[in-house]
Structure 1
Amino acid sequence: MKNKLLLLLSLITVSGFSQNAPINFETSGNGATWNWITFENGANAPLQIVANPSATGINTSSTVAKLTTLITGATFAGVESVHQLSVPSGPSAFGTYSITASNCTVKIMVYKSVISDVGIKFVNPTNGSTGEIKKSNSVINQWEELIFDFSSKIGETNDQIVIFPDFQTRTTDNICYFDNITFGPEIEKPNLPLDFESGTITYSFSNFGNAVTTKIPNPQSNGINTSSNVAKLIKNAGTTWAGSFIELANAVDFSVVNSIKMKVYSPYAGKTFKLKLENLTNAAFNIEVDAVNTTANAWEELTFVFPNVVNANNYKRVVVFCNFGAVGTGETYYFDDIKLNTNLSASTFDLESVKLYPNPCADLLTIQVATPISDCVLYNSLGQVVNRFDVNTNEYTFNLSHLDAGIYYLNFMVNDELFTKKVIKK
């Protein structure tokens, strides 16, 4: 009972300290005199407060924080402020940070010699954390401001900030500078269609696997895409599943259609583009679908069909993978106009007129339709492609003898519109 009382009193003491921000590492500001702890960085050299190495551009402040991340350090090497409980006598630590709609957007300026992820997380007095959010810098040897969205953590209270300035496996020791950590109101998030044209919306991408995605002016304004802005994804050497995600203001609405279109520009043809949708708070609610491009160095529109999508799962995170399954080489992809395939809702084609028999089937499945069909693709219940069929006829028999028993979804095109039929394999 005594220990519980002491813990309660400690938490009450913590609540008496407000958040100390912005963290600007100036003599008269916050951060410069705090007791920062370096972790998992080889010999764990301390965080240094040094003169700004390049007082130009967006950051002309006098002093900044410097951490050299070492080859011998872990991928997640970094620094953390001490808990406010450790310094209860004054504003010499981070203080308490109660995340609200007015302070959930965290910005940090970084100056690095390499492209890699920067991670930020917050920790509460009992060492529970928000989990880190990672963003990659897109330029080297100049100041850049990264934006971190903690709106999904509104309501949580923390008293420690943790910074991972170089979240990667290193082949060299890397000098990282960071500065001007600020806290602001919730940013305006986009919705579908994602066309990257708004001047007020912040298109904030989070990257993983050493991919880097940014909004840029359209460098290939031709063909089917003459829009002003697009997303650029650089797939650096790293993992086969490198990609980026962006969060939406509202969940994707699959109440009418079950497919999404996306325009892509790739240096290669025949590559797999994966589109994954996730719930923001429940990792179990996710669904992903692949599509393969057929054209190199030209805009092409791909269609992603989600055959067993559950609309109630509230998918508000859109994840894009380019050339999925292959390790990046530093190549560049562009994508744009991610939108629901609304052509389906205005169709005059009678889907009920399609004859699919026998269904359930053992080995052979026949489709009959009055209007010729094409581009037949069979998906399993996870949304993965299991077969593509070269069809351009009114009647066709599929051989499904190699498939396991279960539920599948047959997608096909009629007059440039996409339709789906459920298939049961015995």
Structure 2
Amino acid sequence: MYLADPVHPRYGVGKNVGNYSLRRLSALTVKSARQPGRYGDGDGLYLVVGKGGAKSWIVRVQKNGRRRDVGLGSATKVPLKLARERAALVRSQVEAGLDPVLERNKRGGVPTFREAAMQVHGEHKKGWKNGKHQAQWLATLEAYAFPAFGGVAVSEIEAPTVRDALSAIWLTKPETARRLRQRINTIIDWAVAKGFREQSLALPVIDKSLPKQRSRVKHHAAMPYKDLPGFMAQLRARETMGRFALEAVILTAARSGEVRLATWEEVDLTKRTWTIPASHMKAGREHVVPLSNSAAALFQMLQRHARGDKSLIFPGSIKGKPLSDMTLTKVLRDMGRSETVHGFRSTFRDWAAEQTSFPGELAEVALAHVNSDKTEAAYLRSDRRVQRAKLMEAWSNYCGKLFRPSN
């Protein structure tokens, strides 16, 4: 049951001296009020002037001994007379045993946090290149946010509620907690932009209330380059689509997603290049990979024995679908290895740095890493394809040759 907070119009906030109905404000007072603070009008209605000069109306109510301010709108849009009418409506709802906030949300069509999250996901997912990220974005919210406040109107999500949801996993799952924080904030900011609420979350307050995370940067487990020649011999001992794809990942130093999504239209065996489109690249820029002798032989063999969907170089078991990421990981696990597929890029980088005289920036270009030095990047406009072709041939030779006839 809500109760209007009785405040004496002269003695100010917190003076429990009866439920007075005397009026203190006038239209002129509202217009001329400049000093930040609350100006009482009686019966729990206040004009609130912010530090920046913004003016809004609130009516103070209580539920189970807990005070709560219900917003009634901006004072620039809601005149004093209408503010009093809205405050009276809130009080009538209180007397009827209704929650005025929920009743207002029903009339105004304010979505719940879950509904808002679905709308945000629907609007943003088209801009996400990674399908796995699309699924994880909602999964994180379903696991840790929706159980706590998924059914609450997005206009009523407060900092303490968000803080408690984050606190549950802040130290045990720090990376997940940080992603959850970012996604919740995105939804709340969307609600502000849509007019469903007036203010964003007080993130600085939430952050200061949480303990310091002591997480370390987690690197992808990589195979020592000294183990690679022996591993490649074992990998090539059997022929499966998963093994072919993993071999392509290693020989090209590409990301697994770039290899799994590769199509024959991207490969030019005459020029010995594989042109990865910007839509498949993490940095969103087209990347050309010079193919070594071994890599070219691998693609030639696959082209002659293409099956199923001829557009995909590495088709999966479902027609028209590429291999799954887990297929490549399973190859490693079946071979008794604990490393990650992505870790082979680190193996390549370590080998180039410690076993060759090729410049470090050349290996970075081969890995399609974005140069963080803007000045240096401005001068290195070329993709240095000729030099990279030599680097990739040296890498291929180190991995070990396997004869594959070209015709």
Structure (1/2) with the larger helix percentage: 2
Higher strand fraction (1 or 2): 1
Query: Is the pair's TM-score, using the shorter chain for normalization, greater than 0.5?
Result: no
> What's the TM-score bracket when you normalise by the shorter of the two chains?
under 0.3
Give TM-score scaled by structure 1 length. 0.26
